[in-house]
Amino acid sequence: MNPDRPSRTAQHNALFRAIEQRLPQPLFADPWARRFLRGRYRLAALLPAAALARAIDARWPGPRAAVCVRTRWIDDAICAAIARGLDQLVVLGAGFDARAHRLPGIARVRVFEVDHPATQEMKRRVVGAAPAHVSYVPVVFGRDALPDALARAGLLPDTRTLLLWEGVTNYLDEPTVDATLRFAAHAGQALLFTYVDRAVIDGEKLFAGGPESVAHVKKLGEPFTFGFDPAELPAYLGARGLELEQDLPLSEAARRYYPDDACPPVSAFYHVVSARCRA
């Protein structure tokens, strides 16, 4: 991926969230999603939402609703943490995440958005000046020391801190995932992240919509490069100072939000995870 231009998968995800806003019963409120769109993605967001959602689901079954379900699931988890007195939220690879601007009560939380400086510059052109509770932390992953960058930005130790790592692990390599999880175990009290089942990358298991999704992101030049075996995840996290609390395929998470007779296709190979930091 070229950090000097928006990720195409990030544009897809923003489009999916923008479409959701115009459906009769949206899963979440994100008035910012459309503002991050460029070019044909911005034009697509003007099409009739229900028809566009059906067309996307027919061609690429699963990813559109998966993005919306994971957005809602993570929103719910963060709002619950805010209600319990959350002090700090660290968003790793923030991209076009607008939770610092749209979640109820988030202004009481110090939010640290970590991303490549070029990506942050593009985002700041959309959202304008950062609110007082938001700090942008420019980091080139693989080059800059994440703990040092967050410390310079004012991240406080020994406070109620939640880390979010959404839609990122499947584009990394194992050493980067390993190092980031080890950092997370020492940086906060809880971690939310997403991953894809390794079997969809290796082709060892046939998931509905899986081959189409794998081929599509490869065509975009942003292929899946890393996944977990769900059976191995508890031990993998445990070895890095994290305790698995919940590992949920998005197809199961969707049952919380859609009636059985109205659930769109949702990628079963994409998971959301909550873990407790015990390092």
In a domain, 271, yes or no: yes
| 75, part of any domain | yes
Q: Which residues contact 216 (CB under 8 A, 6 or more apart)?
A: 60, 63
Q: For residues 7 and 258, which has the higher predicted lDDT (pLDDT)?
A: 258
Q: Which two tokens stand for residue 124?
A: 């700041």
33 backbone dihedrals φ, ψ, rounded to 5°: -55, -50
| Residue of 168, 182, 183 whose CA lies nearest to 225 | 168
| pLDDT score recorded for residue 3 | 55
Q: Select, from the ranges 3-17, 84-98, 208-222, the one with the highest average predicted confidence (pLDDT).
A: 84-98
80-98: average pLDDT? 97
Query: Tell me, what CATH number does 122's domain have?
Result: 3.40.50.150
Domain count, the chain: 1
Torsion of CA 99, 105, 108, 112, to 10 degrees: -10
pLDDT of residue 279: 61
For residue 99, the enclosing domain spans: 69-208+225-277
E strands, 36-141, in order: 88-92, 110-115, 134-138
Within a domain: residue 137? yes
Q: Is residue 143 part of a domain?
A: yes
Residue 40 lies in a domain: no
Helix (H, G, I), strand (E, B) or coil at 135: strand
Nearest to 278 by CA among 247, 241, 244: 241
The predicted structure's pLDDT at residue 30: 98
- Quote the pLDDT of residue 23: 96
CA nearest to 9, candidates 188, 186, 213: 213
State pLDDT tens for residues 138-162: 998 778 889 999 999 999 998 999 9
Report which of residues 67 and 259 the model is more confident about. 67
Q: Shortest CA distance to 71 belongs to which of 194, 175, 170, 155? A: 194
Q: Are 13 and 220 in contact, with CB atoms under 8 Å apart?
A: no
How do residues 187-230 score in pLDDT, each as one tens digit? 999 999 999 999 999 999 999 899 999 999 999 899 999 999 99
Per-residue pLDDT of 13-35, as tens digits, reads 999 999 999 999 999 999 999 99
pLDDT digits (tens, 9 = 90+) for 38-78: 999 999 999 999 999 999 999 999 999 999 999 999 999 99
CA distance 261 to 259: 6
**pLDDT score of 7:** 78
Instruction: Let me know: does 196 contact 209? Beta carbons within 8 Å.
Output: no
For residue 31, is it within any domain?
no
- The pTM score is 0.95
Question: How far is residue 250's CA from residue 194's CA, in Å, rounded to a whole number?
Answer: 10
Cβ neighbours around 215 below 10 Å, total? 12
pLDDT over threshold 60, residue 4: no
257 domain-assigned: yes
With a cut of 70, say whether residue 6 has pLDDT above it: no
First to last CA, the chain: 33
**In this predicted model, what pLDDT tens digit does every residue of 116-144 receive, in sequence order?**
998 899 899 999 988 999 999 999 877 88
Q: Is the pLDDT of residue 81 over 90?
A: yes
Examine residue 197 and state whether it is found in any structural domain, yes or no.
yes
Residue 2 pLDDT exceeds 70: no
